[in-house]
Structure 1
Amino acid sequence: MANTLFLSLAAAIGLFATASSLSTETVPLVVERAPSNVRPYVLRYSTGDAYQIGADIYRVLVTEQSSGGAFTLFTESGRENLQITTHRHQRYYETFFAVRGGMTMWINGETRALQASDFATVPQNQNHSFQFTEPDTLMASFIAPGGFEKWIYNVSEPFSSEFDAPFPPDRPLPYPVGKIVAASADGSFDITIAPDAALSHNVTNGTSNPGLPWHNGNNDLPGNPDEPYFVANNRGPKFLHRSEGQVVAPLVSRNETSGNATISIVTIRSRALDSEVPLRRSSGSQVFLVLDGQLMISMAGQKQSLLTGDVAFIPANTEYSYWSDVAFTRLYVGATSGDDGLTDQLMRDAEYWDFALYPSS
């Protein structure tokens, strides 16, 4: 009887120990698709849920669910194609960042030819359209608040590639005009089609407005949430955090989003051998998209190396640190809510800077 009791107790203890070890098991940072709940994660380039609309592939990297409603981040890749239907949003603040290739962007009466690292932003209720113009184009779109991906799901077809191709250059689908019209009529997707909107097709040297600089001078941020605008590559304001060797180039400040979001390009020099990197925390969610180089990030008790095209999502109040072990790394950083995102923290100790890179010595 005593032996039986001892064995039963031992089995119970063993079961408890097994359950405890399972409950504390580390959840891997690297995922294959954006999670359905808010948690830190890393998505590798050309992974994530992929959807085909016409000739283009949309990859949803951060969703309404994975960001707790804060924002959506997706990429769109494809070849040169037709201009998309002109439309506007009542709820969404939408942005466009040309990662590579080229595209034409129309916003009301203003038009720009976007090259790699050019940027456009579309506040609510602004008619806009775009068209890919190069054979291999990739665009990243940060939209706040979250939820725009529901429209993508509704009008697209799932996409997969045996060879993980970014897009199928030889297998476009018919453009889903019927689905897009139906989605607009539905009303729940916050897309209003505006086929009669007046857009300017009179473009010289990449711009419809020769009175404003475009790749031949600096572009200022408007400082208000109602005005759409464009920022050419490295032509916006820039700030140097000298001690950390990082250059912050804001594309969207809190002034342009009524305090709801920021987007910046952060350029990082390599970390000095054995130097300490600060542990950071922000009150809002953030996303890092690696544009060049290699980013090292530590969060949730794990360290990961991110290469070009990889994405890291950092929930609010998550401790993390980051650094570069290579000579040059460049990030696209999006953040929502609060005033203590990464770029906010860096700019508090930064100086105005006229150059795209950190000092050479």
Structure 2
Amino acid sequence: MTSTSSATTLPATTTPYVLEAGGGTSGVLLGQTTRILVGGSQSNGALAVVVVLGPRDNPIPFHAHREARDTFFVTRGQMQLWADGESRILNPGDFAYVAPGTAHAYQFLGNYTETVGMITPGGWEEFFVFTSNPYGGPAFPPVDTTSPPFERLGRAQDLHDVSFRRDLTPFPAQTDRTDETLPEREQAYFLKADTGERHVMLGQICTVLAGGPQTSGALGMAMIEGPRGAKMPAHVHRETHEVLYVLGGRLRVTLDGAETVAYPGDCVNIPAGCVHSYVLEGRSTRFLTMNAKAGIDALFAVAGEPWPYPVFPDQSPAPGDQPDLARAEGTLDISFVL
């Protein structure tokens, strides 16, 4: 086994890598930095993972995608999101999903707001490359002196899967919705932090943010949390591309025999066919898993047990924590390398 360091730039092809926080392909658009952590070129077109961060500012205008699916997971600050006639104020840990064809817009409300999300299929992230101005900083510029790229934004409607809806305007957020469960079919929806169904396996808990029923099988996204020492044995996906994004703690990952420690903000790219495993090394570690197509996001539900608590077990693994890995192998795109 070899030890490797994190990268700061994206490779040109689909290959396993760990990208350091603040790395990737960055540009400034309308005062916000968009940072591509994984693109279509790094995922064989399966998905993209993009971080957007910036200051309190005017709303990003309403727009829709014919085919692309959008997700938003807030990691810092506060934002308002409009989608399909609904609107919410989102805080750290809150999640939103936008289905294809859904008119949506958002506005950063915090002085420093950051959101991370996946887009499927990969390739739509090139919209940001086309419309934004390159930026080499790790965050966003204190003062954005660039002019809005109206001409490029107009041309983008012909080149990328986006259409702007000038007939729609922002409206106040609804505050009387529970937003604690996933819908049973594909639609735009919101999910509050620390809600939703949880399952436990190998001392870790998993909360699915989006899965097959919610995305017509296009993608899966979940949050995994656990204590130091919890681990996932080596396994491989034949067809599914997976990405991990560390939210807190420390995660030691092994990708095709190369070992790297990932820290908050680091991104782990795992192409189909890559044998990978991980060990949680922080006293408390949290990370997002993102995959296309949907399926492996149900691993904890298929092989583990329901877990009613918002925190992981005191022990890893907990008493009676006996995952049914054989069932997972027979149901999902996963093979364990034991």
TM-score normalised by L of structure 2: 0.88
Spell out the pairing of 1:241-256 with structure 2 (5 A cutoff): 241=201, 244-256=202-214
- The residue type paired with residue 310 of structure 1 is D
| Residue 213, structure 1, aligned to residue 173, structure 2 | no
TM-score normalised by L of structure 1: 0.82
Q: Secondary structure at the match of 1:224?
A: coil
2:172 to 202, 221, 224: 202
Q: Secondary structure at the match of 2:300?
A: helix
Spell out the pairing of 1:172-321 with structure 2 (5 A cutoff): 172-184=145-157, 186=158, 188-197=159-168, 199=170, 201-203=171-173, 208=174, 210=176, 212-214=177-179, 219-225=180-186, 227-241=187-201, 244-271=202-229, 278-283=233-238, 284-321=240-277
- The residue type paired with residue 202 of structure 1 is P
The alpha carbon displacement at 1:360 in A equals: 2.4
User: Hey, which of these two has a bigger chunk of strand by percent?
Assistant: 2
- The residue type paired with residue 310 of structure 2 is A
Is the 1:298–1:320 Cα contact (8 Å) retained in structure 2?
A: yes
Q: Secondary structure at the match of 1:65?
A: helix
- The residue type paired with residue 282 of structure 1 is H
| Residue 349, structure 1, aligned to residue 307, structure 2 | no
Write out per-residue CA displacement over residues 143-163 of structure 1, whole angstroms, 9 at most, x where no aligned residue. Answer: 0000112111111110013xx
Report sequence identity in percent.
26
Is the 1:56–1:172 Cα contact (8 Å) retained in structure 2?
A: no
CA distance in 2, matches of 1:86, 1:338: 27
CA distance in 1, matches of 2:92, 2:287: 14
The alpha carbon displacement at 1:347 in A equals: 2.5
Structure 2 unpaired stretches of 5+: 316-338
The alpha carbon displacement at 1:336 in A equals: 1.1
CA distance in 1, matches of 2:39, 2:198: 29
Is the 2:212–2:294 Cα contact (8 Å) retained in structure 1?
A: no
Q: Secondary structure at the match of 2:40?
A: coil
2:104 to 102, 111, 128: 128
From the superposition, tell whether residues 306 and 145 of structure 1 become closer, same or farther in structure 2 (CA, over 3 Å): same
Instruction: Using CA pairs under 8 Å that are at least 6 residues apart, name the structure with larger relative contact order, 1 or 2.
Output: 2
Write out per-residue CA displacement over residues 192-225 of structure 1, whole angstroms, 9 at most, x where no aligned residue. Answer: 11011265x233xxxx152x215xxxx1111212
Aligned residues: 313
Flag as ranges the 4+ runs of structure 1 deviating above 6 A: none
From the superposition, tell whether residues 99 and 172 of structure 1 become closer, same or farther in structure 2 (CA, over 3 Å): farther
Is the 1:109–1:198 Cα contact (8 Å) retained in structure 2?
A: no
The alpha carbon displacement at 1:310 in A equals: 0.3
Is the 1:58–1:77 Cα contact (8 Å) retained in structure 2?
A: yes
Q: Which has the larger radius of gyration?
A: 1
Counterpart residue number, 2:56: 80
Greater Cα shift, 70-79 or 28-37: 28-37
